Amino acid sequence: MALEFTDANFQSNVLDSDKLTVVDFWAEWCGPCRAIGPVIEELAKDYDGKVNIGKVNVDNNPQVSMNYGITSIPAILFIKNGQVVDKQVGAAPKAVLDKKIQANL
């Protein structure tokens, strides 16, 4: 199951992690965000224990969203060792996200 990242836990769960972390910035009212929600959940199962995969609700966590300049959602950041190593803005098929994860493992 995808993790829930918040303004409060982002530093410890994402930036301080030694694993690749995939962060889906989303909102309840965003149609494309809801469309890729199941894909994010599938990836979380596929990479359980190898990659941290989670979501940030932009409405509830404005600080993290501002820190990364998130202006369009869904926006998916791939973060490794505290640095953004790749990103995907807009909904994308599972194969595209899978390829980005593989490239950054």
Q: Is residue 68 part of a domain?
A: yes
d(CA 12, CA 104): 20
Segment 64-94, tens digit of pLDDT: 999 999 999 999 999 999 999 999 999 999 9
Active-site residue, from 30, 40, 73, 75: 30
Q: pLDDT tens, 26-68? A: 999 999 999 999 999 999 999 999 999 999 999 999 999 999 9
Q: Catalytic residue at 98?
A: no
- Is the separation of the CB atoms in 21 and 73 below 8 Å? no
Catalytic residue among 14, 20, 33, 75: 33
Catalytic, 30? Answer: yes
- Whether residue 63 is contained in a domain is answered as yes
Q: How many domains does the chain have?
A: 1
The CATH number of the domain holding residue 43 is 3.40.30.10
Does residue 89 fall inside a structural domain? Answer: yes
Q: What is the pLDDT of residue 13?
A: 97
Q: Say if 55 falls within a structural domain.
A: yes
Grouping H, G, I as helix, E, B as strand and the rest as coil, residue 92 is coil
Domain annotation covers residue 103: no
